[in-house]
Amino acid sequence: MQLFFLVSWTLTVLVALLPVVLFLAFGWRKRETEFTDKAYNRAHMEIYFRKFWCEGQARYQTRHRTAEINPLSLFRARYRELMGRRYYIVPSALFALVVTVLTGLVVATAMRTGYDHYIGYFAGEAKTEMDAANSGVIGNPITLQRMRTTDLDNDFSPLPQIHLSLSALAAISGAYLFIVAQLIQQCRARTLVYSDLFLASLRLLVSVPLGLSLSTLASDALGPFLSFGLGAFPIVELRTLVRRLTTSYLKAGDSRADDDQTVAMVGVTQPVSDVLAEENITCAQQLADIDPVVLAVRTGLSFDYVLFLAAQSLVWCFLGKTASALGPIGLADARAIWYLMRKRPDEQTKILVSVDALFAAGAEASKASKSIDVELLREAFEKIAVDPYTKFLVEFTSELEKREPSEMEPGEAPQPMPKAA
Residue 191 has pLDDT above 50, yes or no: yes
Q: What ranges do the domains of the chain cover?
A: 279-407
DSSP code for 412: P
pLDDT over 90 for what percent of the chain?
A: 17
Q: What is the pLDDT of residue 218?
A: 60
Residue 345, pLDDT score: 85
Q: Note the pLDDT tens digit of each residue in 34-70.
A: 888 776 655 667 788 888 888 887 887 778 776 666 7
Beta bridge partners of 3: none
Residue 310, judged by CB atoms within 10 A of its CB (0-12, 13-18, 19+), counts as buried
Question: Mean pLDDT for the chain?
Answer: 77
Give the global pTM: 0.72
**235 pLDDT band (50/70/90 cuts)?**
low
- Judged against a pLDDT cut of 70, whether residue 368 lies above it is answered with no
**Per-residue pLDDT tens digits for 109-164:** 877 776 666 566 666 766 777 777 777 666 665 555 555 555 655 666 555 566 77
Q: How confident is the model at residue 410 (pLDDT cuts 50, 70, 90)?
A: very low
Residue 87 has pLDDT above 90, yes or no: yes
Q: Which residues pair with 400 in a beta bridge?
A: 416
Tell me the backbone φ, ψ of residue 397, rounded to 5 degrees: -125, 5
pLDDT at 15: 95
pLDDT band at 5 (very low <50, low <70, confident <90, very high): confident
SS3 of the chain: the string is CHHHHHHHHHHHHHHHHHHHHHHHHHHHHHHHHHHHHHHCCCCCHHHHHHHHCHHHHHHHHHHHCCCCCCHHHHHHHHHHHHHCHHHHHHHHHHHHHHHHHHHHHHHHHHHHHHHHHHHHHHHHHHHHHHHHHHCCCCCCCCCCCCCCHHHHHHHHCCCCCCCCCHHHHHHHHHHHHHHHHHHHHHHHHCCCCHHHHHHHHHHHHHHHHHHHHHHCCCCCCCHHHHHHHHHCCCHHHHHHHHHHHHHHHCCCCCCCCCCCCHHHCCCCCHHHHHHHHHCCCCCHHHHHHCCHHHHHHHHCCCHHHHHHHHHHHHHHHHHCCHHHHHHHHCCCCHHHHHHHHCCCHHHHHHHHHHHHHHHHHHHHHHCCCCCCCHHHHHHHHHHHHHCHHHHHHHHHHCCECCCCHHHCCCCCCCCECCCCC
- For residue 184, what pLDDT is reported? 94
Count of CB atoms situated within 10 Å of the CB of 331: 22
Q: Given a cut of 70, is residue 387 above it in pLDDT?
A: yes
214 vs 326, residue with greater confidence: 326
Better-predicted residue by pLDDT, 266 or 210: 266
Question: Does residue 295 have a pLDDT over 70?
Answer: yes
- Which DSSP category does 24 fall into? I
Average pLDDT estimate for 234-261: 59
pLDDT band, residue 416 (cuts 50/70/90)? very low
Q: How far apart are CA 226 and CA 210, in angstroms?
A: 10
